[in-house]
Every structure is written in structure tokens, then in C-alpha cells.
Amino acid sequence: MATPAGLNPLEVLQFVGEHVSTINPSSAALALGTSAGMFLLPKIHTKIPSALLAVGGATLATHGLGLDVALIGAIPSGLEAFQFGLPLLPAVDSLPSLAATTFLIYSMTSVESLLSCAALEKMKKTSYKYSPDQELVGQGLANMGSALFMGMPVTSVIARSGLNLRLNAATRLPALVQAGFVFGSVVFFSDNIAMIPMPALSGMLITTGMSMLNPAEFKHCYAVQKMDALPFATTVAGMVSMGLAEGIGIGCATAMALSYQQASMAPGSTTMLPPLSSTMMNVTPVPSVHHALLPESALTNEATHVTSFTDANGEKFLLDADKSSVLQLDGPINFVSMFAIDNMVRDLHAQMSSATAEAEAPANDERFVVVDMEKVTNLEFTGMEELATRLIEVADANEGVTIQMVNCNDAVNNAMDQCDPKQEIQRFATLTAAATATTTTV
């Protein structure tokens, strides 16, 4: 039984339900067996290539027992499968249609690649962070090469990367091995690949997809702000009822509308229709303030650039301008804020590198990054998780740097409990509390 092409997930389920009586028992057994093998084999030893053994076992069972199931079948083989050809300019009247199709493919493949990278980064923490720019440049070069050989557009896919993650792959070697394996398979082993049963591949993909489900992520999201469950729900509903790209678009639109609605209800809002910029976070470096707050008695003779600062309670502090940065966040922290957060982190890295290079702050000297949350209007899980992750990244990349978050209300503390459970970022309710904590370490 072959499912018609072009169906969305709901239509596929409906089709399967209508034809459940015609399901091939052998196909179902192979799919379940492959899935069970991939689930159980890693419990014996984490380095067992469960997917290879499960699919290989299903292939042997298919041909050893003579099972009547669908196979991959004939695929292009040999070097002649790679047909080189230079691109030709299309007819002028076809350019509008071609441009629309190209933009759609570009959008879908780019979104899928970046979402795959983001999902994998959450599944396993590493010492490095993926670069969206590098990812898209690499994908563009790959698509140009694919087009020259009459190939299809390519994208990063979660299935292969998720499989690498399950097998504890930690370098680029698996990608190179896979590329060599695919090339060698087409050239030398196409007849063998044609013998693999399709149900085995279905079982492998279903198991890989299920392993990526992360209920804890939704729990964290719901704990930060219960309304964040709405974009989750609309995204899933859109993906199931229409497709991947449509679901993502619906989810983003829902999140943006939610942020816009929250901006209109924020304290100080005087209009029911605030400008679109009110849904975006602003980062403002506090002028001449570049250090965690030090009471006058804590100031040492080594401080060369000192500024006087008085907090909201009227208490006077002296600020050492050579050691760090004070950044004031203004507005909502949501998924749109990721761009502002990225720019903020880039600036912080540049400041730290410049200070070290000029020997104004020795690499092993203690420095502070103070993030003032007083003017934050509302929070969203995606934005807060990005903020916490990137600030911790700054501390990890720059020896001796301490991150302090001040003017933290209950909502901020609750969000940070979820996004920074180890409390790698110091949190304080007031500037005075931060200054007091700083003096105990001076």
C-alpha cells in the first residue's frame, strides 16, 4: 500500500485509518522490529551502531525469510549518475514563477537547517555554538554544487544529525564519513542498497523522531510564562494539519501577535495599538558606568577611572570604569530579542578582547558584566533562554568575568530558575544587594 504524495500528516493518518485492514503484517513487523532494535541496543552499550544493526537485521530477515515488502529499489548507480551541466537562463516569462518557487525552497530549507541546529544544540550541550551564518553559507555552496550535477536542493535534516547525536558523535568526522559513504554507495553499492526494505527505514526515522521529543522543554516554557504554550500549540497544529513551513509560520505569527498584545497591556502603555517596535528589546550601555557597583569604602588605589553613581534609593557608589560593563535592557524579552541579544554579546566579546589587548584589565583580573532588568516589561521563554545561554557563554569565553543580573523581580527570578538552574548568573533584587555581594569578594 503506497500513500499518495502531497498529503499533510492528518490526511496521511486518515488514509492509513481507511486502509488499516490492508496493512502488510510483514511490513508492520519489520518497522516495529527496527524501532525496537534501535531503542534496546543502546541500553546494552551506548556505542553499538543500533541503526546500522537494526536496518541490517531487517534486510537479512526480509530476504532470508522471503518477506513480501516494499524495497528501496533501483537507484542511479556508477559515475554516470553524476551528470555535470552548466545552468541555463530560463525564459523571461517564467522568471516570476521561478523566483517564487526559489524563494519558497530557500525559505523552507533555511528554516529547517537553522531549526535543526537549534534543536540539536538543546539536546546536547557542547563547548562550541553553531554559527547560523556559517550554516547558511555552507548550505548555499552545497546547493550550488548539487545544481551543477543535476541534483536536488539540499538542507540540514534533523534525522541524520539526531542519529549522529544518539551515537555520541562529537566532531565533523561523521559528516565526512557519511558523504563518502553516500558517494561510494551510489558508485559501488547501489544494488545492495536497493535491497533494503522500506519499512525498516520507516521504523528508523520514527524512532529517531520520537527520541527528539523533549517534554521537559515544554515544561520549562510553561513555567516561565503560561501563555507561551499558545505558540507551541498553534505550531504543532499547523504542522500536523498543513505542513512544516506552514506550521512554523503560524507559530511565529502567533508569538508575534502575543508579544504585541502584551506590549499593549504593559505598564505605562497609553494606547491599545502600540508601535511594532514595542515588541522588541533594546540594549542600552549605561554611560560612563562600566563596573559592578562598589561602595566607596571598597574602592582600591588600583582603580584609575572612577565615576560616581547614585541609585534609586539615594545611596552613593563609586564605579570602576576599567573592569566591566553595565547594560540596561528595555522592553520585552521574546524570540525577536534574539537579534538584540546577539549584538549585545558580540559587543561584550569585543570589549573584553580590547581591554585584555590594551592591558587595561589583565586576563586573570576579575571583571563584571551587570545586566539591569528594571525596565523589562514582559518575558518569554525563548528570549530568556537565549539571554541566559549567551551571557553564560560570555563568562565561559572570558576568564575572570562574572555576570550579575540586578533589579530582578519575581518573574525574572522564576524565568532564570528555569533557564539557569545552576545559577551561573548572579541575581540580585537591588543594586545595593549586588554591591554588597561584590564587596565580599574584593
Where are the CATH 3.30.750.24 domain residues in the chain? 280-439
Helices assigned H by DSSP within 45-94: 50-64
Full-model pTM: 0.61
Grid cell digits, residue 226: 503560561
| Residue from 402, 379, 376, 407 nearest 391 by CA | 402
- How open is the CA angle 251-256-257, to the nearest 5 degrees? 100
Taking the C-alpha atoms of residue 8 and residue 154, their distance in angstroms, rounded to an integer, is 21
Strand pairing report for 426-427 and 316-320: unpaired
The per-residue pLDDT for 59 is 93
Between the two ends of the chain, the Cα-to-Cα distance in Å is 73
In the three-class reduction of DSSP (H, G, I as helix; E, B as strand; rest coil), residue 306 is classed as: strand
pLDDT higher than 80, residue 441: no
Report whether 81 contacts 184 (CB < 8 A): no
pLDDT at 115 over 80: no
Q: What is the dihedral of CA 334, 344, 401, 393, to 10 degrees?
A: 60
User: How confident is the prediction for the chain on average, in pLDDT?
Assistant: 76
> How would residue 173 be classed by pLDDT, with cut points 50, 70 and 90?
confident
Question: Which range has highest mean pLDDT (66-75, 148-157, 312-321)?
Answer: 66-75
**Lowest-pLDDT range of 180-194, 286-300, 308-322, 350-364:** 286-300
- Strands (DSSP E) contained in 162-281 are none
H or E stretch at 223:
helix 215-224
Strand order, beta sheet including 367-379 = 282-285, 325-333, 367-379, 401-406, 426-427
What confidence tens digit (pLDDT) does each residue in 360-415 have? 545 456 778 888 888 888 888 888 888 998 898 888 888 888 888 888 888 899 88
Q: How far is CA 402 from CA 75, 127, 370, 397, 407, in A?
A: 57, 18, 8, 11, 17
Q: Tens of pLDDT along 317-346? A: 555 556 667 788 888 888 778 778 888 888
CATH code of the domain occupying 280-439? 3.30.750.24
Question: How many whole angstroms separate alpha carbon 383 and alpha carbon 404?
Answer: 18
Q: Residue 102 pLDDT more than 70?
A: yes
Instruction: Kindly state the cell numbers that stand for 121.
Output: 544544540
CA distances from 312 to 110, 125, 248 (A): 46, 39, 43
Contacts of 163 (CB under 8 A, 6+ apart): 51, 208
Q: At what angle do helices 132-148 and 95-123 cross, to 10 degrees?
A: 130
Q: What percent of the chain clears pLDDT 70, i.e. is strictly above it?
A: 77
The answer to whether residues 229 and 222 touch, using CB atoms and an 8 Å cutoff, is yes
Instruction: List Cα–Cα distances, 348 to 320, 343, 344, 401, in angstroms.
Output: 17, 9, 6, 11
Q: What pLDDT is attached to residue 324?
A: 64
For residue range 23-38, list pLDDT tens digits in order.
888 999 999 999 999 9
pLDDT band for 93, please (50, 70, 90 cuts).
confident
Alpha carbons 175 and 196: distance in angstroms, whole number: 22
